[in-house]
């Protein structure tokens, strides 16, 4: 190889290096060229996988200072993905703590912010719209590897709860979908079987709820043997789940309604009904409680 | 999937997409070919170095330009600063839509708009509006609460909703000089009501504060005097809580009542009050009605006494603000 050829090769290598640096600089400028209208902070690590926090969540709050207005929150988190600092919204229903009068009559809390993957962690950081002048911020809630739990801190600024702060832990709840069956407690031979389908996790509402559809079969009872969840309309409210709280209403062909309320476990494998009530028709009255398990 | 409508979200999404995709993938078709053809000239290094800088500058300029579109701002690169006497759009609003594409997704929207006031000409703005679902579409039948965020300029308000059963509602309204009227357009992307759009007119309703007095229409001997105070900020449902006291004549088992804040509310032009009373058996006085934009008149649609020793349903009436 001649000296000129070696020089050309060296120049080629140098040119490639410079070209690479230029490309990198260009990419940086693209990133930094975020418009002035960007709400979320610039930065963070690209979210590639395992960042999808969209779903139905329940949060438990523990106070470390100031007032303690909210005992728990439950509802719909919606995280765009994939990206950097994914724009994220949430509609969470607060369970007001027994020691507080804040958030009374104002328990729906819309929030927005980001999910990021900075530092290898999937982290949720969101703050609420003002609710009676109170702004709730959930900071650096880090998810576990399976993205089924979150752990972080919260603060509340302004209004009745100003100065509240503490720790927050979140638990994702699986979809209430499948065939759930079991016996009605304190009733001889009466059984309930429900075929339920929860809307997909991306279909949560602005109230934090997810619609549920399905049908019910009641055994050991002379009336209301079957029922189905009516399609929601302007006159008929839908059956919903929010967090771990379930509220279902089935209609019989004779016009009577059966309303079930209860809770699910995180895997949605057990539906613990605290109330089964029929209104209208010859079966009207309370049937009691029941624990239903999903068919595997 | 996602909320990619407002200018700020467009920017956010674009930024995410650029950073998420390898920059070399975007640049390689431009750079690779000449690199192979041109071995080793120092001058080329500066050319390649300058190219992405120029592209970055173009993107920066594009973003700035995009941000200015439709905002009613003037000048180069920024928003028209708010005047010193600027009035924000914060308050209790009621919107009436008119469909131009497809059917009406809802017959009205009402709730809380909160504009975070700055001096920059661009205020972050949030809203929670409740829809009155339209039977023509039924799409919002069980998704009636719509949280939104966006921004406000000197001229316009831009809002985009959180995803609501995958429906994303966008509102753009132009303010009148008194900032108590908005006129503009709405559109819905994705979900059940996708592609429905139209025009919208909004009216701001003043706070319900003061003493309101009047009689029921069907029986002038039945009257009420209510001292009411509306919260200055709304809830996550878009409602403004309302507290106060009342004195009542002609209702038999009670003569006074107390309205706890969580039992009273104003949403757009709709007002609801559920008074506890001095009836020893616990009667409650439940009043529903509407207010006019200046909140000087409460038109009661119903006056019901629930529980206690004198349950009954009475007709409506008119209560006027006492000056």
Last residue of a domain, which of B205, B225, B256? B205
Q: Backbone phi, then psi, for B35, in 5-degree steps?
A: -60, -45
Q: What does pLDDT average to over chain B?
A: 81
Same domain, B176 and B226: no
> Domain with B99 in it: what CATH number?
2.40.128.620
Chain A CB within 8 Å of residue B20 CB: yes
Mark B125-138 as b/e (b = at least 16 C-beta within 10 Å): bbbbbbbebbeebb
Chain A CB within 8 Å of residue B30 CB: no
Same domain, B196 and B138: yes
Spatial CA neighbour of A236 closest among B142, B8, B140, B30: B142
> How many CB atoms sit inside 10 A of residue A78's CB?
26
Residue B303, pLDDT > 90, answer yes
Work out the burial of residue A89: count CB atoms within 10 Å of its CB; fewer than 13 is exposed, 13-18 middle, 19 or more buried.
buried
Same domain, B216 and B256: yes
Residue B285, pLDDT > 90, answer yes
Mean pLDDT of A99-112: 94
> Domain with B253 in it: what CATH number?
2.40.128
User: What is the domain partition of chain A in residue ranges?
Assistant: 1-33, 55-173, 178-294
Which residues have CB under 8 Å from B37's CB, separation 6+?
A: none
Share of chain B above pLDDT 90, in %: 69
Name the minimum distance, in Å, from the CA of A188 to any CA of chain B: 36
State pLDDT tens for residues B48-70. 444 444 444 444 443 333 333 33
Question: Do A203 and A213 contact (CB within 8 A), yes or no?
Answer: no
Contact B40 A11 (CB under 8 A): yes
Spatial CA neighbour of B301 closest among B226, B211, B217, B244: B217
Show residues of chain B in contact with A31, CB under 8 Å.
15, 18-19
Residue A251, pLDDT > 60, answer yes
pLDDT at A48: 38
Check if CATH label 2.40.128 holds for domain A178-294: yes
State pLDDT tens for residues A58-86. 999 999 999 999 999 999 999 986 556 78
Same domain, B199 and B303: no
Same domain, B224 and B196: no
Contact A19 B31 (CB under 8 A): yes
pLDDT at B314: 94
pLDDT at A220: 87
Per the structure, how many domains does chain B have? 3
Chain B CB within 8 Å of residue A98 CB: no
Rounded Cα–Cα distance for residues B97 and B112 (Å): 17
Show residues of chain A in contact with B113, CB under 8 Å.
none
pLDDT at A186: 79
State pLDDT tens for residues B173-220. 999 999 999 999 999 999 999 999 999 999 999 999 999 999 999 999
CATH fold, domain A55-173, is Lipocalin (2.40.128)
pLDDT at A41: 29
- Nearest CB to A129 within list B53, B66, B128: B128
DSSP class per residue in B174-226 = EE-TTSSEEEEEEEEESSTTTT-EEEEEEEEE----EEEEEEBSS-TT-EEEE
pLDDT at B45: 40
Chain B CB within 8 Å of residue A104 CB: yes
Mean pLDDT of A87-102: 94
pLDDT at B43: 37
Pairwise pLDDT comparison (B224 vs B71), residue with the higher score: B224
Domain that holds residue B157: 91-205
Question: Within the 195-234 window of chain B, which residues sit less than 8 Å (CB to CB) from chain A?
Answer: 231-234
Same domain, B155 and B231: no
Q: Comparing A55-173 with A178-294, is the CATH topology the same?
A: yes
Q: What does pLDDT average to over chain A?
A: 84
Contact B52 A104 (CB under 8 A): no
Same domain, B111 and B175: yes
Contact A233 B24 (CB under 8 A): no
The predicted complex's ipTM stands at: 0.78
Query: Tokens 């919204």 appear where?
Result: A89
State pLDDT tens for residues A149-196. 999 999 999 999 999 999 999 999 999 999 999 999 877 788 999 999
Question: Within the 169-198 window of chain B, which residues sit less than 8 Å (CB to CB) from chain A?
Answer: none
Chain B CB within 8 Å of residue A199 CB: yes
Q: At A15, is the pLDDT very low, low, confident or very high (cuts 50, 70, 90)?
A: low
């Amino acid at each position: 190889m001649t000296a000129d050829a070696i020089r050309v090769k060296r120049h080629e290598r140098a040119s490639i290096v410079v070209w690479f640096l230029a490309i990198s600089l260009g990419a940086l400028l693209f990133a930094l060229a975020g418009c002035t209208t960007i709400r979320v902070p610039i930065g963070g690590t690209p979210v590639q996988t395992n960042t999808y926090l969209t779903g139905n969540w329940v949060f438990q709050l523990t106070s470390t200072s100031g007032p303690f207005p909210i005992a728990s929150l439950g509802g719909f988190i919606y995280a765009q993905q994939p990206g950097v600092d994914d724009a994220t919204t949430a509609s969470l229903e607060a369970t007001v703590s027994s020691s507080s009068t804040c958030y009374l009559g104002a328990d729906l809390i819309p929030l927005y912010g980001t999910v990021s993957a900075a530092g290898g962690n999937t982290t949720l950081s969101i703050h609420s719209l003002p609710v009676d002048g109170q702004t709730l911020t959930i900071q650096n809630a880090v998810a576990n590897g399976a993205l089924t739990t979150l752990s972080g801190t919260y603060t509340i600024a302004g209004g009745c709860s100003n100065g509240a702060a503490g720790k927050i832990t979140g638990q994702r709840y699986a979809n209430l979908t499948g065939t759930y069956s079991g016996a009605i407690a304190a009733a001889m031979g009466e059984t309930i079987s429900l075929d339920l389908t929860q809307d997909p996790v991306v279909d949560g509402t602005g109230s934090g709820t997810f619609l549920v559809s399905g049908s019910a079969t009641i055994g050991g009872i002379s009336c209301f043997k079957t029922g189905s969840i009516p399609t929601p309309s302007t006159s008929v409210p839908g059956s919903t789940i929010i967090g771990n709280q379930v509220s279902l209403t089935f209609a019989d062909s004779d016009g009577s309604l059966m309303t079930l309320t209860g809770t699910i476990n995180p895997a949605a494998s057990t539906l613990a009904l605290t109330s089964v009530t029929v209104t209208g028709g010859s079966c009207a009255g309370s049937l009691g409680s029941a624990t239903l398990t999903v068919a595997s | 999937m996602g909320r990619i409508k407002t200018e700020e979200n467009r920017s956010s999404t674009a930024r995410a997409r650029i950073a998420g995709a390898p920059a070399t993938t975007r640049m390689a078709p431009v750079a690779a070919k000449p690199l192979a053809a041109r071995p080793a000239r120092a001058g080329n290094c500066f050319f390649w170095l300058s190219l992405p800088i120029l592209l970055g500058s173009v993107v920066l300029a594009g973003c700035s330009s995009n941000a200015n579109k439709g905002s009613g701002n003037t000048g180069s690169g920024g928003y028209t600063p708010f005047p010193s006497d600027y009035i924000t759009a914060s308050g209790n609003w009621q919107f009436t839509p008119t469909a131009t594409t497809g059917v009406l997704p809802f017959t009205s929207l009402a709730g809380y708009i909160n504009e975070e006031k700055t001096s920059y000409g661009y205020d972050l703005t949030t809203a929670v509006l409740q829809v009155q679902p339209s039977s023509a579409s039924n799409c919002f039948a069980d998704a009636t609460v719509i949280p939104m965020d966006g921004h406000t300029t000197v001229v316009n308000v831009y809002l985009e909703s959180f995803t609501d059963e995958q429906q994303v509602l966008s509102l753009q309204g132009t303010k009148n000089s008194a900032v108590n009227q908005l006129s503009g357009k709405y559109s819905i992307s994705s979900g059940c009501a996708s592609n429905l759009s139209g025009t919208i007119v909004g009216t701001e309703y003043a706070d319900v504060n003061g003493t309101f007095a009047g009689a029921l229409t069907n029986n002038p001997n039945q009257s009420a005097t209510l001292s009411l105070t509306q919260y200055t900020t709304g809830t996550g449902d878009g409602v403004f809580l309302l507290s106060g006291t009342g004195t009542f004549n002609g209702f038999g088992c009670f003569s006074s009542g107390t309205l706890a804040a969580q039992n009273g509310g104003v949403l757009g032009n709709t007002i609801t009050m559920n008074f506890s009373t001095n009836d020893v058996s616990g009667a409650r006085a439940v009043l529903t009605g509407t207010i006019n934009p200046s909140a000087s008149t409460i038109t009661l649609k119903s006056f019901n006494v629930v529980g206690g020793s004198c349950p009954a349903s009475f007709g409506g009436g008119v209560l006027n603000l006492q000056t």
